[in-house]
Structure 1
Amino acid sequence: MRLRVIKIGGSLLVRDHLMADLRVWLDRQPPAITLAIAGGGEMINAVRQWDRLRPGDPANVHWRCVEMLRFSFESLAESFQSDSHFPDFETIADVAAWHRFATIIATSKSISQSTPKLYLGNVPAFYHRDSVAQHTSDRVPRLPETWDTTTDAIAFWMAARLNADECVVLKSCDVDPASSLADLIDGGVVDPACSRFAGCDFRIVVERLPLAS
């Protein structure tokens, strides 16, 4: 069974029919264990504007924003749980749940015997100060604790950590399918820290989440 990581752009969280759009998109994908995370959207943009006016310590601001992603996780989790079209859905809400999931994924036998399933991960449960210190390597590079890092690069980081087959970044904006990773960074479609995953082992896809109808 393939392992797919997806990042749901924060700006998509205010799309009227997001759940229907996600359902149609997921139905069109090859079967996989899918781990999704959500961006912070305008909530994080507000912090960015605040920091521009009243600059703080970059690392402290970075980790404060990571903690704020709990709101995106909890809100989106409620939407998935209340939607009958997502019966095989599970949350990874805390550090203990993350360790259980990572252990399952690390066991190839468990993956091969698994069925397609959708998980939603709480970013601060797996990406925190301790985890980046413990898991930095050539395959899993340390991300800048600055505005150069957003959930785009965090999704790539998670895909690298889990040896995922692919990482898909879903956006609200149009994305040229012919663009290289460098093009996407230069165009501001994904964050600069994504450059650390050039030449990674997993497939990178960045695309606009299409409307279901």
Structure 2
Amino acid sequence: MDGILIVKFGGSSVSPPDLVRWVRALEESDRPLVLVPGGGPFADTVRQYQSQVGFDDDAAHHMAILAMEQFGRALVSLGDKLLPCATEEAISSALAEGRIPVWMPTKLVLRACEIGRDWSTTSDSLAAWLAGRFPGATLCLIKPIDLPEGRDIAAISAAGVVDSSFEHLLHPATRVHFAGPADLALAGKRLAAGIVPGREVATGHGDELIGEAAQ
């Protein structure tokens, strides 16, 4: 069986109908899947009030992780198989039960000294970090845009599509896919067939750019 699929899903730019459609598609997955929520509008609020209130980056980092948990709780309520999980053991247990763990990152992230405690580390990097803790895992980042062909992780990072910590926290063995709005229509069928939605990109660790995922 293929390794675990880690899917990072942010809600800031996804319309409510598409949000529900993505959740339904993800629940069709034929391979073990872990859902990493973005901070969505909850993290946007942290950014907004940091400039107004003046709390430091360490506090903002903690608050943004809690924002991921807020969005994660919302996602759990939209699905039938989704289950909030805070630890690797809880994730593995949920997968063994045929559930889809929704990662609640606070417990693991705040004790990981290799993770920066500022805005250079967002939910994209945290998803990459989590994927590295499961040997053979594949990472799929669902984005509100469709990326052009021929881009590698370095170019994607330079364009601001992922944060500046992403490459540092990405394990060399983790394969990375990006999925966008154009992938939604067939996402459920592809996941049910064990195919990762979107396009695989070169990670800068000696990989070749593979292009679109198999049909």
Once the 2 structures are TM-superposed, how far is the Cα of residue 188 of structure 1 from its aligned partner? 1.1
DSSP-derived class of the 2:160 partner: coil
Once the 2 structures are TM-superposed, how far is the Cα of residue 22 of structure 1 from its aligned partner? 4.0
For 1:90 and 1:42, locate their aligned partners in 2 and report how far apart those are by CA, in whole Å: 21
Q: Which runs of 5+ in 2 are unaligned?
A: 187-215
Number of equivalences:
184
For 2:77 and 2:101, locate their aligned partners in 1 and report how far apart those are by CA, in whole Å: 13
Letter in 1 for 2:91: F
The alpha-carbon distance between structure 1 residues 116 and 196, as it changes in their structure 2 partners (threshold 3 A), is same
The alpha-carbon distance between structure 1 residues 179 and 163, as it changes in their structure 2 partners (threshold 3 A), is same
DSSP-derived class of the 2:17 partner: coil
TM-score normalised to structure 2 length: 0.73
Once the 2 structures are TM-superposed, how far is the Cα of residue 41 of structure 1 from its aligned partner? 1.7
The alpha-carbon distance between structure 1 residues 48 and 179, as it changes in their structure 2 partners (threshold 3 A), is same
Once the 2 structures are TM-superposed, how far is the Cα of residue 177 of structure 1 from its aligned partner? 3.6
Percent identity between the two aligned chains: 18
- Asked if 2 retains the 8 angstrom alpha-carbon contact of 1:169 and 1:205, the reply is yes
DSSP-derived class of the 2:154 partner: helix
Letter in 1 for 2:84: I
Partner deviation per Cα, 1:64-113 (whole Å, 9 max, x = no partner):
211122211111101003xxxxxxx2413345xx43435x69xxxxx9xx
Q: Choose which of 83, 99, 122 in structure 1 pairs with 2:89.
A: 99
Partner deviation per Cα, 1:43-83 (whole Å, 9 max, x = no partner):
212221322344422112101211122211111101003xx
1:57 matched residue in structure 2 = 56
For 2:19 and 2:26, locate their aligned partners in 1 and report how far apart those are by CA, in whole Å: 10
Work out which structure has the larger RCO, using CA pairs closer than 8 Å and 6 or more positions apart in sequence.
1
Q: Which runs of 5+ in 1 are unaligned?
A: 82-88, 106-110, 134-141
- Aligned-residue CA RMSD (Å): 2.7
2:130 matched residue in structure 1 = 158
| 1:125-136 superposed matches below 5 A | 125-127=107-109, 129-130=110-111, 132-133=112-113
Q: Choose which of 182, 185, 190 in structure 2 pairs with 1:212.
A: 185
- Asked if 1 retains the 8 angstrom alpha-carbon contact of 2:132 and 2:170, the reply is no
The alpha-carbon distance between structure 1 residues 167 and 148, as it changes in their structure 2 partners (threshold 3 A), is same
TM-score normalised to structure 1 length: 0.74
Once the 2 structures are TM-superposed, how far is the Cα of residue 183 of structure 1 from its aligned partner? 0.9
1:185 aligns with 2:157: yes
Letter in 2 for 1:119: P
Letter in 1 for 2:105: V
